[in-house]
Amino acid sequence: MRGTYTKKPYIDTYDEVPDPNNILSGIAYTTGMKVGDPNQGAGNYVNDPNRTKLTDNRRAVLCEDGTAGYFNRNYNSLTSADFTFDLGGRKSFQQVNISTLAGANGIGRPSKVTIQISNDTGTPSNWTTICSTAMGGPETNKEFIYRTQNGKRITARHIRLLLDFGAANWMAIDDVKVLSIADSAPADGNLNLAQSGEFDIDNAANL
């Protein structure tokens, strides 16, 4: 569904892309990045005060639309942008989708995606990596899809994304989904802990 919202002095256009299997919808992220205007050398991002632009089910049509979250590497000389999501309890999933924007005003795709899971309460400290994949291809908009093999499921409470900056100083992420049931879209990589059985981070073993 196509909609618009006004963010003066311009109007942004976006697609509504809800999914009933998306267990991440509306969940705010936490991050080690600093809030502050990157153009003033004061931080890494400013346009996401509620930290929900990545999970609001709105996918930008243009690279510079305000529906996306924009993150800059220069403050603290970051190598990656980090996003941690608390699902509110242990939940199972088969797929992670990350929609990226690129191609305008120094905005580039992430050069690498790392997906981690944890069941620690409070601030997660023990992370298990379930995917670490380089992103190739041209600097254009793309949704990257990571899926377990053979329909297996991964269960965890916390999910962390580490998105490495590429050659550009800016990164734009406009939609992240975690699907309890995988769809049929072609995958760009595997969530690699569930190849031989169900994976539950509680005991860090294939069950």
Q: Structure pTM?
A: 0.86
- Going by C-beta distance under 8 Å and a sequence separation of 6 or more, which residues neighbour residue 146? 95, 96, 97, 98, 113, 115, 131, 133, 187, 188, 189, 190, 191
The amino acid occupying position 97 is N
pLDDT of the residue at 36: 94
145-161 pLDDT, tens digit each: 999 988 889 999 999 99
Could you give the CA distance from residue 130 to residue 194 in angstroms, rounded to a whole number? 9
Contact 72, 44 (CB under 8 A): yes
CA dist 100 and 69 (Å) reads 10
The three-state secondary structure class of 39 is helix
Model confidence at 123, pLDDT cuts 50, 70, 90, reads low
Unique residue bearing structure tokens 């093999």:
149
What value does the mean pLDDT take over residues 8-15? Answer: 50
pLDDT surpassing 80 at residue 167: yes
